[in-house]
Structure 1
Amino acid sequence: MRRNRHAKIVATVGPASSSPEMLHRLFLAGVDTFRLNFSHGAQDDHARVHAAIRALERETGRPIGILQDLQGPKIRLGPLAGGRREVAAGESLRFVLTPTDAVPDAIPLPHPEIFAAVAPGQDLLIDDGRVRVRVTGLTGDSIEAEVIIGGTLSDRKGVNLPGTLLAVSPLTPKDRADLAFGLELGVDWVALSFVQTPADVLKARALIGDRAGLMTKIEKPQALERIEDIIRLSDAVMVARGDLGVEIPHEDVPGRQKELIRSCRLAVKPVIVATQMLDSMVSAPTPTRAEASDVATAIYDGADAVMLSAESATGRFPVETVAMMARIIHRTETHKLYRSLITASDPGEEETPPHAVAAASAHLADAVGAAALVAYTLSGTTAARVARRRPEVPILALTPDRGIARRLCLLWGAHSVQAAEVETYEAMVEGAIAHAVEEGFARPGDRVVIAAGIPFAVAGTTNNIRIAQVPSA
């Protein structure tokens, strides 16, 4: 079962999409990886969805990726008296760590790390920036602030502190319990929320090891300051534009998105663009033209995948939304300007021999008009190095590891297949030809280019290219 596009689709599972029947429809519509959002739902609910996806995988005979997205240390207001409160610009407010009867109108903010880090002149953004207040003074357990942009405060609304480094772990006790649960289930990717420093990534890596790919969500300006190190330590990156767009100016988000995509491509790490891509389709059967352009921009920039959140989790038209995203990707990738824009954004040659060999295989496949570029890959690295060049021909990624085949469902252009491990050069060539024909990429007389590492079964050693021809019938 082949997709008619290179970029992948990630869809969030929720009440609108969690039934086995709906998961099947979404997969047929174009979903490559399903996201389980652990900010919502019970563990048992996620376990049922996981089991349904694995049953769908067996039914279709195709690898399907599963991404576990951890909630992270979300900063929220405590419960307010009456549940809500209107505040006006110029009004003075007091935030307290622990509510007391002595200050009945104080706003609870039960996060000691904020009181330890915030300073006068810094802003607090509440409810995704709908309300903005500026700190004017503070004591050990209270913060005085002036309302800059008024609005409605209500229970448990999120609080963002742009420019403030908080001494908080990206893994809360809930996250640790959810992570252990997800790894036991066998998720393929774990997304780490609210990363601030490279040390945050290392902490998660110590818990995950190699049992799943580690995806870092970029949603804090502090992460942008150490982004090269964070990307290097991650297996993949998500440009989480929701919280990022709250903490940095809106006008800076498009440029940051392009920078992150380019940096990830240079580092040979898959990158997802996420948040509100087709948001109007939560309640409407078609997107706005601006949303269609937003998806297309990510594809022109060279993103490996684009993601749906509420659109597929709680929206009225989940299947239609996935189908629309698939059509936008296909039309963008077949547009006459796509190839020139992708080539112009090429991050340049890497000096290491494995990267050079992978790049040469991609160029060779395009030059000889190959039906497919077959990448033998144990860890996924060879396929990722080939995909970095964004070749015109499809990439058939063969791996003996089922988990790697599933992770490759996020990689640009990769059609992954779990295949038996090869031990000889002749078996490599024969296997490449057989799978290219079986998967519908090649016919008798077609050429295929094969990229592999020799000796076999050694991860990361991309050092061999072979042109082979499918025998005539």
Structure 2
Amino acid sequence: MRRYRKVKILATLGPASSEEGMIEKLHEAGADLFRINMSHASHDLMRTLISRIRAVEARSGRPIGILCDLQGPKLRVGKFAAGKVTLTPGQTFTLDNRDEPGDETRVFLPHPEILEAVKPGHRLLIDDGKLALKAEKADGKSIVCTVIAGTSISDRKGVSLPDTLLGVGALTDKDRIDLDAALATGEVDWVALSFVQRPDDLAEVRKIARGRVGVMSKIEKPQALERIDEIIELSDALMVARGDLGVEMPIETVPGIQKQLTRACRRAGKPVVVATQMLESMISSPVPTRAEVSDVSIAVFEGADAIMLSAESASGQYPVEAVSMMASIAREVEKDPLFPSIIYAQRATPEATGADAISLAARQIAETLRLSAIVTYTSSGTTGLRASRERPEVPIIALSPIVHTARRLSICWGMHCVVTQDATDLDDMVNRACRIVVSEGFGKPGDRIIISAGVPLGTPGATNMLRIAYIGSDGQTGI
């Protein structure tokens, strides 16, 4: 199953897309990976969804990545005696540690870490920013606020803290239990960590994961932007989670932040996913708005590795149509005559490593000689990542003997992953590459390809060789 586009599509599973037949339709329509949202999925449902994805994978013959998205800390106010109260801009309203129903003057805040961290002048945004408060006094037990904007608040609404660095980590007790359950399946390829604020937030999840899954940091808090280079360095991938980011920061700044994060990840050679409300109207409409099409196209033009569907595929009325539309937009953008020059202008200077030098040379040779494909043998996935970082104009075929590596690389831009045995010698290396390029639909007899590998063969991290090969007339051997 060949995709005629470079950017990948990550589709969220939910009530509208949990059956195996629907998962298969989404994959056929263009979904390369699937996201399981642990905010809504039980452990039994997670295991069921994983089993169904792997059944679809077995029939398709193509590695499919699975992302387990951890819920992260959910900060909410308590309840009100009347369920909801009306407030007036300018009035005083208090959040405190008294576990009693709230009224027009106060409400219980069951998060001592917030009460201790908020300082006078900090903003508190309730219910996705519908109510804005400004802290006037804070003593660790209560926060006396002035209502800045908004007129009402009701039970259990979420709290966002754009100005406050919380002392707690991003991993909650629920997240630890969910992470252990995901790792126990042995089938999850990525975990996404929500509400990352600092590099230290990644330490615990990396210690628990021990390299068994890739760790993706979701950037949805302004505090993360202050130390973004360190966070990228410690992450295996990044997600630009524009929903919460647009609540905690002025919404007009989000497009610029998206571009900055995309380019920072491209420089570092780390996959980046753009997420949230990309085709929001397709939850209830069979076609998107023009603005949504432009939004998706901007992410593709920027060279994001993957673009994500949330409610559109999880609970919407048109999940297959949403995936098909996203794939169609991506194909059109990548055919645009301006696309190659935009991608080229954003290429990063290669690092002084053998893998980077080999990947740079492979791209330049492939584009100069108009080769059909770049074929890279990769065990750990590092060589594949560096090849993808170059954003070549020709397809990248990643050959790996390790199925988990192939599944993890399915998120990478331009990467077509195939699970195959390691080559036994140089002739087998060339013949196997030619045979797979033809069988996967990327070349034909008489075409030329370039192959990167490491000698001695099968040695992880030893990529040190390039070979240009003609595909023989039988489509099975290289010359």
TM-score (norm 2): 0.96
Q: Tell me which residue corresponds to 2:74.
A: 74
> Aligned partner of 1:174: which letter?
K
Q: Tell me which residue corresponds to 1:90.
A: 90
Q: CA deviation at 1:442?
A: 1.4
1:134-149 alignment runs, 5 A limit: 134-149=134-149
Contact 1:192 1:216 in 2 (8 A): yes
Contact 1:191 1:215 in 2 (8 A): yes
2:132 aligned counterpart, secondary structure: strand
**Which range moves more in the overlay, 99-108 or 300-309?**
99-108
1:113-152 alignment runs, 5 A limit: 113-152=113-152
Instruction: Tell me whether 1:354 sits opposite 2:370 in the alignment.
Output: no
CA deviation profile, 1:228-265 (whole Å, cap 9, x unmatched): 11111111110111111111222221111111111111
Q: Tell me which residue corresponds to 2:326.
A: 325
1:447-458 alignment runs, 5 A limit: 447-458=448-459
Q: Tell me which residue corresponds to 2:381.
A: 380
Q: CA deviation at 1:76?
A: 1.1
Contact 1:358 1:462 in 2 (8 A): no
Q: CA deviation at 1:457?
A: 2.9
Q: Tell me which residue corresponds to 2:392.
A: 391
Give the 3 Å change call, closer, same or farther, for CA 66–314 of structure 1 in structure 2: same
1:179-198 alignment runs, 5 A limit: 179-185=179-185, 186-198=187-199
User: How far, CA to CA, are the matches of 1:227 and 1:280 in structure 2?
Assistant: 31
1:357 aligned counterpart, secondary structure: helix
Contact 2:117 2:140 in 1 (8 A): no
Contact 1:162 1:220 in 2 (8 A): yes
1:456 aligned counterpart, secondary structure: coil
> Aligned partner of 1:428: which letter?
M
Instruction: Tell me whether 1:49 sits opposite 2:52 in the alignment.
Output: no
2:167 aligned counterpart, secondary structure: coil
Instruction: Tell me whether 1:299 sits opposite 2:311 in the alignment.
Output: no
Work out the number of aligned pairs and report it. 473
Give the 3 Å change call, closer, same or farther, for CA 335–143 of structure 1 in structure 2: same
Q: Tell me which residue corresponds to 2:477.
A: none
| Structure 1: tracts of 5 or more residues without a match | none
Q: CA deviation at 1:344?
A: 1.1
Q: CA deviation at 1:101?
A: 7.5
CA deviation profile, 1:87-136 (whole Å, cap 9, x unmatched): 22112111112334798852121000111110111100111111100011
User: How far, CA to CA, are the matches of 2:105 and 2:51 in structure 1?
Assistant: 48
1:191-206 alignment runs, 5 A limit: 191-206=192-207
Give the 3 Å change call, closer, same or farther, for CA 283–151 of structure 1 in structure 2: farther
CA deviation profile, 1:251-308 (whole Å, cap 9, x unmatched): 2211111111111111111100001111111111111111100100001101000000
Q: Tell me which residue corresponds to 1:442.
A: 443
Give the 3 Å change call, closer, same or farther, for CA 317–353 of structure 1 in structure 2: same
User: How far, CA to CA, are the matches of 1:59 and 1:113 in structure 2?
Assistant: 49
Contact 1:36 1:69 in 2 (8 A): yes
Q: CA deviation at 1:225?
A: 1.1
1:410 aligned counterpart, secondary structure: coil
Instruction: Tell me whether 1:419 sits opposite 2:420 in the alignment.
Output: yes
Give the 3 Å change call, closer, same or farther, for CA 460–260 of structure 1 in structure 2: farther
CA deviation profile, 1:58-110 (whole Å, cap 9, x unmatched): 11111111000000012111222222222221121111123347988521210
Q: Tell me which residue corresponds to 1:267.
A: 268
> Aligned partner of 1:45: which letter?
L
> Aligned partner of 1:427: which letter?
D
**Which range moves more in the overlay, 81-90 or 11-20?**
81-90
1:237 aligned counterpart, secondary structure: strand
1:463 aligned counterpart, secondary structure: strand
